[in-house]
A and B are shown apart, each in its own frame.
Chain A
């Protein structure tokens, strides 16, 4: 069965510092992988997605993620964090069979210090 693990529940970084949010997945075949962001009181917005091809994926708001098959990971990165990046981030994996449900991780809450 598919599963997603986000090992860090909370992360705090200083504004301008680099950021890496970890995501590990369990899935037998090549997965579809996603990162979503949720600002307080809002719905989820898609940051980026990986289906195939280049393992480094660029997304919106200056985020990128790298798919590493050997490590079953899809970590999200940003070189310089802005105060507006404070939010909760969710990694998700989608199956290629069935009705393509997305399985979400528990989320990582990011706080940004000025």
Chain B
């Protein structure tokens, strides 16, 4: 989607390795979110940010950490990847939070 880019688009990694996913926006939006999508669960919130260096946990934050050192970048790190973290990860941005999001195209992560 225009204004929001996720990288990489696909990644295969081994159990126990660290992995960082990047979300980059050009919209200067305050709010950024990381979700994971799994069959039967819809999208579940991992972490979110409401400003530079301001982040908080979502409903499925265990095993994940985030950082936001610049408005435009929101990084999601799996400190030690596990097979249960195989998923599609979506980043979203919002200017006003609850008024709706714009989503990135997703990152498909496979942990083997």
Q: Chain A residues in contact with chain B, CB under 8 A?
A: 4, 6, 9, 32, 34, 36, 42-46, 49, 51, 90, 94-96, 99-107
Contacts and interface: CB of A to CB of B under 8 A. Distances in A.
A49 B1 CA distance: 19
Given A43-B103, A102-B45, 4 more contacts: A46-B101, A94-B99, A100-B98, A106-B40
B99 A101 contact: no
Interface residues of B, number: 28
Given A43-B104, A43-B106, A101-B33, A32 B99 contact: yes
Interface of B: 1, 31, 33, 35, 40-45, 48, 50, 56, 58, 90, 92, 94, 96-106
Contacts of A36: 103
B58 A101 contact: yes
A105 B1 CA distance: 22
A46 B96 CA distance: 15
Contacts of B41: 106
A99 B100 contact: no
B48 A99 contact: yes
A96 B98 contact: yes
Contacts of B102: 46
A7 to B, nearest CB: 13
A46 B100 contact: yes
